Amino acid sequence: MKATAKSRPQSEGHTQTISSPSLTMNIKHILLATDLSAESQRAFPFVEALAITCGARISLVHCVQHLTNGNQQSHLETPVVPPDYESVTKSAEDALKQQAADFDSSLKVSVQLLSGSDVPACLADFAKTNQVDVIALSTHGRSGFKRLALGSVAEGVLRVSSTPVLCFPKSE
């Protein structure tokens, strides 16, 4: 993908041309985040097409969230692991493998199961550590109290990640 000069409207009847040297975004590794829901799979066909076009590999990633018994800003917090943690992680791993099997067989798709109290930070850290070129994820389109109570992983990833993020909004 190469960027070239672009024109942007400045005011009515005027445009500004922005010139920059040729920029190249070489996509070889895509982190595709999933919460294992049907809504999160909305991004899958687009990411599959992008990976085929670019010759990229996909890391299909799910983060099992655990709670903490302290202030999340504190380094003194300790994770509170639910009693059924092993069965939760086993179920998540099985679901990830099943989702990965649905991709075109010509693609290299690996599954990664992470865990942590801060899902956006887990995804951003994985991207940075594993030389991911772009993070892709679906948004759930929550608003109001649901968004306040459940948060927005997509918004959190946009805030904390130094890796470009590609979001797929809820269709209307």
Q: What confidence tens digit (pLDDT) does each residue in 107-144 have?
A: 999 999 998 888 999 999 999 999 999 999 998 755 54
The 3-state DSSP class for residue 63 equals strand
Identify the pLDDT of residue 117: 84
Taken in order 118, 151, 170, 6, the sign of the CA dihedral is: negative
Residue length of the chain: 172
Tokens encoding 71 = 């202030």
Percentage of residues in the chain having pLDDT higher than 70: 70
Lowest mean pLDDT segment, chosen from 19-23, 152-156, 164-168: 19-23
List the one residue out of 156, 161, 169 whose CA is nearest residue 65.
156
Domain 26-168: give its CATH code: 3.40.50.620
Identify the pLDDT of residue 123: 96
In Å, how far are 103, 123, 154 from 150, measured between CA atoms? 29, 17, 12
Is residue 38 predicted with pLDDT exceeding 70?
Answer: yes
Is residue 62 predicted with pLDDT exceeding 60?
Answer: yes
- For the chain, give every domain's residue range: 26-168
Split at pLDDT 50, 70, 90, the class of 157 is very high
Is residue 160 predicted with pLDDT exceeding 70?
Answer: yes
